[in-house]
Amino acid sequence: MDKIKRIALVAHDNRKKHMVEWVEYNWNTLMRHTLVCTGTTGRLVEDTIRQKAGGGIPTNYAIQRLKSGPLGGDQQLGALIAEGKIDAIIFFWDPMSPHPHDVDVKALLRIAVLYNLPIACNRSTADFLISSPLLDREYEQQVVDYSTYIERELG
């Protein structure tokens, strides 16, 4: 992983308020990295950072907005993970509400674990992740080679 990380930010509807509060608190750190957000979360993150930055977003700041999760944003994010284009995920998911795209959410979590990405699913873990000294330096990520596992399973 490079010094500048590509951080995905995702929040279910009932957790968007928590994401906005977290971004308000951490916006200065987040602006040193590239952000990838799904749907409405991306708009809220961008608005929050713009407000905290005094109305403008610096030209060196980058945010990529994907589709809304239920409209394929979770799958877009999964594809970026598989392509090695995401370094960490902050995913404030709502464990108390059913979601029409639960299968996509599970697939996203699975692919993040498969590619050994740091993933925070609540504010406490997100706080630990963003305050890690590893966030602002290069990091040699260990990825498990599953090819022998797949060959063994498929015969």
Q: Looking at residue 41, what is its pLDDT?
A: 95
Write down the pLDDT at residue 148.
77
Predicted pLDDT at 30: 94
Question: How confident is the model at residue 102, as a pLDDT?
Answer: 75
Angle at 62 between CA 56 and CA 66, to 5 degrees: 110
Domains of the chain: 6-154 (3.40.50.1380)
Where do we find the tokens 């490079």?
Answer: 2
Q: What is the pTM of this model?
A: 0.89
What residues contact residue 7 under an 8 Å CB cut-off, 6+ apart?
30, 33, 34, 35, 36, 86, 87, 88, 89, 90
- pLDDT score for 58: 64
Residue 16, C-beta contacts closer than 8 angstroms, at least 6 positions apart: 40, 41, 44, 92
Per-residue pLDDT of 73-97, as tens digits, reads 989 999 999 999 999 999 998 888 7
Residue 122 is predicted with a pLDDT of 94
**Per annotation, catalytic residue among 2, 13, 47, 74:** 74
Low-confidence residues of the chain: pLDDT under 50: none
CA 114: distance to chain centroid?
15
Structure tokens at 69: 């999760």
Calpha distance 11→39 (Å, rounded)? 9
| pLDDT score for 138 | 93
Report the pLDDT value the prediction gives residue 101, as an integer from 0 to 100.
Answer: 66
**CA 42, CA 7: separation in Å to the nearest integer?**
12
Q: Would residue 13 show up in a list of annotated catalytic residues for this protein? A: no
